[in-house]
Amino acid sequence: MKKYCEVCGREVETEIVTKREMHEVYGETIEVEAQVLTCAECGEELFCEKLDEDTLLMVYNEYRRRHKLLLPEQIKAIREQYGLSQRSFSKLLNWGDKTIFRYENGAIQDKVHNSLLLFLRDPSNMKLYLTENEILLDEKQVAKLLLVVERLTNQKEVG
Ligand SMILES: [Zn+2]
């Protein structure tokens, strides 16, 4: 892929090289082996959105690993086992409408939110949550969710 290099002042051949990079996440330094696009002639770093996104993902995942936070796909799996939309799940948890959407798309979750998600991963905890809390979903949705929870709990006992 040819790209314009500011240093060379013309279109140049590019290459991808691995480079140690430091990133700050909530005041913490995370070091990763990032892939960066460079000018094949002078070595200048060139902008590449895709590679930058991959690096950021790596940085966030390292931060999650250090702090034992759930990964976006794990949050999605918890939601999906209960057959809930992102919006309904946020509502059930009493969070802002877009919260689950943001977490599933890579935003780092609040620690307290992470703890609640971990707790609710277990269907028997979800049952407790549904029966012992004031729930902001309508009755029909709650009834449906309780059925799903019952089914998941039974599966667990059998398997
Ligand atoms: Zn160059």
Domain positions in the chain are: 2-66, 72-158
> Separation of 125 CA from ligand 1 center, angstroms?
58
Q: Is the pLDDT of residue 11 over 90?
A: yes
> Separation of 19 CA from ligand 1 center, angstroms?
17
Please report which confidence band the pLDDT of residue 133 belongs to, taking 50, 70 and 90 as the band edges: confident
| pLDDT given at position 19 | 96
| pLDDT given at position 159 | 56
> Separation of 37 CA from ligand 1 center, angstroms?
11
Tokens 């991959």 — which residue? 54
d(CA 117, CA 157): 22
> Separation of 42 CA from ligand 1 center, angstroms?
4
- Identity (one letter) of the amino acid at 28? E
**What's the average model confidence in pLDDT over 52-59?**
94
What is the CATH class of 2-66?
A: alpha beta
> Separation of 44 CA from ligand 1 center, angstroms?
5
